[in-house]
Amino acid sequence: MGTPIDIEELRTLFLFEGMTPEQLAEVAASCEVRAYPAGGTVYRAGEPSIALWVLLDGTLRLVRHADGEEVVVNETDYRGSYAGAVRAFATSAGAAAYPTSLHAVTDCRFLRWPANDFAAFVHKWFPMAVHLFDGLYLGIRTTEATVRQREHLAQLGTLSANLAHELNNPAAATVRAAGQLRDRVAHMRQKLGLIASGPVDPEMIAGLITIQERAVEIASKKRDPLSPLQESDLEDEMVDHLEDLGFDRAVDVAPVFVSAGLDTTFFDDVAAEVGDALPSALAWLGYTLETEALMDEIEDASNRISTLVASIKQYTHLDQAAHQEVDLHPGIDSTLVMLGHKLGDIEVHRAYDTTLPPVPAFAAELNQVWTNLIDNAVDAMDGHGVLELRTYRDGDYAAVDVTDHGRGVPEEVQGRLFEPFVTTKPVGQGSGLGLDNAKRIVEKRHRGTIDFTTGPKGTTFTVRLPLSPG
C-alpha cells in the first residue's frame, strides 16, 4: 500500500501545472505514493493496465519486449515522467494491458493514479481534449505505420533488385558453360571413336591417355597471368609449330593450349607417341582441356552463387537471435556484396580495426543502416570515386565512418537531413526515408549516435554504438 500525496508536491510536477485547487484536490484524493527499491519492478508488460505511474524521485527504465529480447525504450530521472495507463481515457485504446515493463534503476517514488479514476477525471474536466488526443493518436499511428511499411517495402525491393543483379552473372555463366560443356563432350566421344577405329594399337591409346592426364595436371597449376601481347606471341608460336607437325586446325586449338600452360615441347612428345593419329589426338586433347576449363568456370560460378547466398544469410541474420554480440565487419562486407552491382567503377578502401570488440546489437537492423549510408555514398559519387569504410574505438563506443568523395550535402538541407522525406536525390530516385530510418535504428534501438560532416570534397557519416549493453 502507498501513502497520500501532498497537494503542494503535486504542484511541482509539470503534469499538474495550471490546475485549480479543486482539480488538485480531486487528483490527490484518488492517488497514492508508492516506493520501489533499486532493481524493483513496478509493472510488467502484459499485466492489466490498471494505473498511470508518475515519477516523483529516482531513475526509471522503460523496457519493451520484442522478439524474445528486452529493448530499453527510455531511461530517465526527469521528475514527472509518466508511463502505464497513459491512454486509459481514450475510447480507441487497445487491450487494457501494459505494453512495456517499468523498472526502478535507483530507489524511486511513484505517484500511482488508478486508470479508472484517471479516465473519469480527464472526461470530466477535459472532454474536448479526449476527442482531440484520441484522433491525433490514431492519426499518428496510421501515418507511422504507412511510412514504415513503405520504407520496409522499399528496402525489400532494393534487396531483391540487388540480389537479382548479383545472381544473374554467375547463373548465366553456369548455363552458358554447361551448354558448351555438352558440345565438347560430344566431340570428345567422336574423336575417341576416330582414334579407336584408326591404326592405333592399345599401347598407343594408353600412352595418349597418359599424355591427356599430364596435360590436365599442367593446366590445373596456377601460373602468373600473361599480358595480351605475351599471350598473342605464344599463340602464334604454337600455331606455327602445330602446323609444322601437320595439324591444319592449329588456329582453333592454339589459344586453348596456351591458356592451359602447354609449350611446343609437349606436342613433340605427343607426335612421337601417336604418329599418324596426331590430328585426331590433338583435337581430342583440345576438347579435353576445354572441358576442364568449362568445369572450372561452372565451379567458379557456383561458388559465387554460394557466396552470395552466404552473404544474404549474413545480411539478414535469419538464423540468429535478433539481439546479440556482433562483429560489425561481416555485416558491412555483406552489405557491399548486396550493393555490388551499384559500385561500378568505385574503389572501396577498408580500414578496419580488427581489435574492435563485439557490439551488442540487432545485426539485421544495423545492416539496414550500412545499406542506406553506402547506397547514399555511391549515389553521391555518380558511380565513380573512392568509398572509404573505417571502424575504430571511440571511448566506450565502436565507431563506423562511411566516407564518399562526392559533391557534398547541399547547405539548405544539412539541418534537416535526418527528417522524414528529406532527400538530396533527384525527384523519383529517393524516398527520403533512409536516413530517418537509420537514425531511428541507431539512436532508439541501440542508444548510439549518428552524425555527419560534409564539404565540397565529400561527406562522412559517423555511427557510434555503445560497446556495453544498457
Task: Tell me how far apart the terminal alpha carbons of the chain are, to the nearest angstrom.
Answer: 31
Domain check: are 327 and 444 in the same one? yes
326 and 290 co-located in one domain = no
**How many structural domains is the chain composed of?**
3
CA angle 201, 206, 208 (to 5 degrees): 95
Domain CATH code at residue 366: 3.30.565.10
Structural domain includes residue 449: yes
Give me the residue label for grid cell 606436342: 267
Strand partners, 43: 102
The domain boundary, picked from 246, 273, 304, lies at: 304
Assess whether 78 and 173 both reside in one domain.
no
Q: Of 304, 334, 357, which residue constitutes the final position of a domain?
A: 304
Which residues of the chain, if any, have pLDDT below 70?
66-69, 91-95, 137-166, 168-169, 187-188, 190-205, 222-223, 303-304, 306-323, 420-433, 470
CA dist., res. 70 & res. 45, Å (int): 11
The pLDDT assigned to 105 comes to 94
List, as own/partner pairs, every contact residues 131-139 make where C-beta atoms lie below 8 angstroms and the sequence separation is at least 24, other chains included: 133/90, 134/90, 134/91, 134/92, 137/87, 137/90, 137/92, 138/92
Residue 270 counted as domain residue:
yes
Residues 17 and 90 in one domain: yes
Q: What was the pLDDT predicted at 421?
A: 54
Q: What are phi and psi of 139, to 5 degrees?
A: -65, -40
**Residue 67 located in a structural domain:** yes
Q: Interior CA angle at 280 toward 278 and 283, to 5°?
A: 105
Using CA atoms, how far residue 367 sits from 145, 317, 335, in Å, is 21, 9, 7
Domain check: are 289 and 324 in the same one? no
309: which residues sit within 8 A by CB, 6+ positions away?
Answer: none
Domain boundary among 81, 114, 132: 132
Cell numbers that stand for 122 in this block? 480527464
**Within a domain: 153:** no
- For residue 234, is it within any domain? yes
Residues 229 and 367 in one domain: no
Where in the sequence is the domain holding 229, given as residue range(s)?
A: 163-304
Does residue 113 lie within any of the structural domains?
yes
Is the domain of 236 the same as that of 362?
no
Q: Are residues 128 and 194 in the same domain?
A: no
The CATH number of the domain where 101 resides is what? 2.60.120.10
174 shares a domain with 300: yes
Q: Are residues 285 and 329 in the same domain?
A: no
Per-residue model confidence (pLDDT) at position 155: 59
Q: Record the cell numbers describing residue 61, joined without a space.
A: 527504465
- Closest by CA position to 329, among listed 321, 320, 337: 337
Show contacts of 171-177: CB within 8 Å, 24+ apart.
Answer: 171/301, 171/305, 173/297, 173/298, 173/300, 173/301, 174/298, 174/301, 174/302, 174/305, 177/294, 177/295, 177/297, 177/298, 177/301
Q: In this predicted structure, what is the pLDDT of residue 417?
A: 80
pLDDT at 241: 81
Q: What is the pLDDT of residue 429?
A: 47
Do 467 and 398 form a contact (C-beta atoms < 8 A)?
A: yes
Query: Is residue 155 assigned to a domain?
Result: no
- The answer to whether residues 125 and 177 belong to one domain is no
Euclidean distance between CA atoms 40 and 370, whole angstroms: 38
Quote the DSSP letter at residue 3.
Answer: B
Examine the domain organization and report whether 81 and 52 are in the same domain. yes
pLDDT at position 282 is 79
Helix axes 127-197, 202-220, angle to 10 degrees: 150
Q: Is 311 among the domain residues?
A: no
